[in-house]
């Protein structure tokens, strides 16, 4: 089956063509147009994002179809939740029109389910069962993935998402948006000096039934960074604060992921979302897990951040199960991942 994927949930207009069946599908094309304009404002401006999607969606899809070099498309998969509603609506409206005009089925895809599938497009073995850590600008989810379509939500953030914390800390340090890569680069130049921040929601005596056993929280860490910034000469301590922040964030994520993998005895850990671009995080995960015989998989930067390839792949999974969305498919700012059960 040839699936056209479309992703417009935030500030990337993306289209991709996937060809084949299940985990054997091949990516024929992937086009990602990032909206640079938001840098000026230090964050995504929803109305500007929607208008930019409107301008780009047709050429982006045409480019993806041309690059794929395949004839007919058999189905179209589109992100319809969660995200900015105006931005999502551009992709959803386009996909429905494409479906109607070409007489092919349309399937709505949950953006975070897409992130779960991203790594499998590059690594044959990044398939269930696995422990998943999804760390993006909008979400931080720790999941047990027993099979595709069977997800157990173990933990999430109580406040800021991991990427959001990177972005806010970058702002406090006077670094550009999006801040994650800038914080990582700066952190690599320091050992943290005298700065050390508490690891949020990590205590030795926590047990699996505790509400905070898997959950994370980064607002306190952000406040600790703010206090450090205010009480020091930033030019001297910028890199050390970046390092101390990143160390606390990574230690927390590695510890929570370890608890999940151990509890469910999973042989693999799969990372996803923009923060999975952080090479220091990936290295720390490998250092923790590889001695225990657990493999760690992370997508390349292109598939870690928002892209339509992962949407096409998740869509293919649902299409192969015979699922279709009706032509009144709508966009939703938030919605649970299909197949998700509580811990
Ligand atoms: O998944 P994504 O592209 O968009 C959302 O769905 O939110 O993730 C974007 C987030 C941003 O917060 C960005 O700062 C973060 O990913 N990010 C990083 C790195 N590269 C991107 N965070 C830490 N280290 C990085 N190298
Ligand atoms: Zn995302």
Question: What is the pLDDT, as a whole number, of residue 205?
Answer: 84
Average pLDDT over residues 276-288: 98
pLDDT of 48 above 90 = yes
Note whether 244 and 197 are within 8 A (CB): yes
Mean pLDDT of all residues in 26-51:
92
Question: Parallel, antiparallel, or unpaired for β 26-34 and 106-110?
Answer: unpaired
Q: Of all residues in the chain, what percent carry a pLDDT higher than 70?
A: 100
Q: How does the average pLDDT of the chain come out, rounded?
A: 96
In this prediction, residue 174 carries a pLDDT of 96
Distance 305 CA to ligand 2 centre (A): 6
What pLDDT shows up at residue 193? Answer: 95
| Two structure tokens written together for 103 | 């007489």
- For tokens 């058999």, the residue is 74
Q: How far apart are CA 23 and CA 317, in angstroms?
A: 9
pLDDT at 175 over 90: yes
Looking at residue 289, what is its pLDDT? Answer: 98
Its sign, for the CA torsion 153, 159, 164, 170, is negative
Query: Which protein residue's CA is at the shortest distance from atom 14 of ligand 1?
Result: 180
Task: Report the distance separating Cα 276 and Cα 279, nearest Å.
Answer: 7
pLDDT of 168 higher than 80: yes
Distance 135 CA to ligand 2 centre (A): 8
Helix axes 219-230, 162-172, angle to 10 degrees: 10
What's the pLDDT score for residue 209?
Answer: 85
- Mean pLDDT, residues 299-322 taken together: 98
- Give the pLDDT score at 116: 98
Neighbours of ion ligand 2 (CB under 5 A): 136, 306
Q: For a pocket test of ligand 1, which of 166, 179, 281, 300 has the largest count of ligand atoms closer than 8 A to its C-beta?
A: 166
- Mean pLDDT, range 309-313, rounded to an integer: 98
Mean pLDDT within 172-182: 95
User: What is the structure's pLDDT at 203?
Assistant: 84
Which pLDDT value is given to residue 36? 87
Atom of ligand 1 at shortest distance to CA of 305?
A: 3
Q: Does the structure show a pLDDT above 90 at 26?
A: yes
pLDDT reported for residue 211: 81
Hey, is 168 helix, strand or coil? helix
Q: What is the pLDDT of residue 217?
A: 96
Buried b (16+ CB within 10 A) or exposed e, 11-21: bbbbbbbbbee
**Closest residue by Cα to residue 135 from 309, 253, 280:** 253
Q: How far is the CA of 105 from the centre of ligand 1 (A)?
A: 32
Closest-lying ligand to the alpha carbon of 275? 1
CA of 73 to the centre of ligand 1 (A): 31
Any idea which ligand is nearest the CA of 277?
1
Cβ neighbors of 204 (< 8 A, separation 6 or more) are none
List the end-to-end C-alpha distance of the chain, in Å, as a whole number. 34
Closest ligand 1 atom number to CA of residue 178:
14
Return the pLDDT at 343: 72
HSE, side-chain direction, 13 A CA sphere, residue 12? 21
Whole-number CA gyration radius for the chain? 20
Atom of ligand 1 nearest to the CA of 273: 1
Who lines ligand 1 at CB under 6 A? Answer: 10, 136-138, 163, 166-167, 178-181, 184, 273-275, 277-278, 305-306
| In the predicted structure, residue 201 carries a pLDDT above the cut 90 | no
Specify whether the CB–CB gap between 257 and 137 falls below 8 A. no
Mutate to test the pocket of ligand 1, among 43, 110, 114, 137 (most ligand atoms within 8 A of CB): 137
For residue 32, how far is its CA from the centre of ligand 2 (angstroms)? 13
pLDDT given at position 313? 98
Angle at 181 between CA 46 and CA 159, to 5 degrees: 55
The pLDDT, as a whole number, for residue 15 is 98
CA of 116 to the centre of ligand 1 (A): 15
């Amino acid at each position: 089956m040839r699936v056209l994927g479309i992703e417009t949930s935030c500030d990337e207009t993306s289209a991709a063509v996937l060809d084949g069946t299940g985990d054997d599908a091949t990516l024929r094309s992937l086009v990602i147009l990032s909206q640079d304009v938001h840098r000026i404002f230090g964050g995504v401006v929803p109305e500007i994002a929607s208008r930019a999607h409107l301008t780009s969606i047709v050429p982006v899809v045409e480019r993806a179809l041309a690059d794929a070099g395949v004839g007919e498309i058999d189905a179209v998969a589109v992100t319809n939740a969660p995200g900015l509603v105006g931005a999502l609506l551009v992709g959803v409206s386009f996909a429905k029109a494409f479906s109607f005009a070409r007489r092919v089925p349309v399937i709505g895809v949950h953006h975070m389910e897409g992130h779960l599938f991203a790594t499998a497009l590059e690594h044959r073995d990044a398939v269930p069962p696995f422990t998943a850590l999804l760390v993006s600008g909008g979400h931080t989810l720790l999941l047990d993935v027993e099979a595709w379509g069977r997800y157990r939500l173990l933990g999430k953030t109580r406040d800021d998402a991991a990427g959001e914390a990177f972005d806010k800390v970058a702002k406090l340090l006077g670094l550009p948006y999006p801040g994650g890569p800038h914080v990582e680069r700066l952190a690599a130049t320091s050992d943290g000096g005298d700065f050390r921040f508490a690891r949020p929601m990590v205590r030795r005596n926590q047990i699996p039934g505790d509400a905070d056993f898997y959950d994370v929280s980064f607002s306190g860490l952000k406040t600790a960074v703010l206090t450090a910034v205010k009480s020091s000469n930033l030019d001297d301590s910028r890199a050390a604060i970046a390092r101390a922040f990143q160390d606390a964030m990574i230690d927390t994520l590695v510890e929570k992921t370890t608890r999940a993998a151990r509890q469910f005895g999973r042989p693999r850990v799969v990372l996803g979302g923009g923060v999975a671009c952080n090479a220091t995080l990936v290295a720390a995960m490998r250092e923790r897990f590889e001695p225990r015989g657990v493999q760690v998989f992370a997508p390349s930067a292109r598939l870690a951040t928002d892209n339509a390839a992962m949407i096409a792949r998740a869509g293919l999974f649902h299409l192969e199960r015979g699922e279709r969305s009706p032509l009144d498919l709508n966009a939703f700012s938030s919605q649970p991942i299909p197949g998700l059960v509580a811990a």
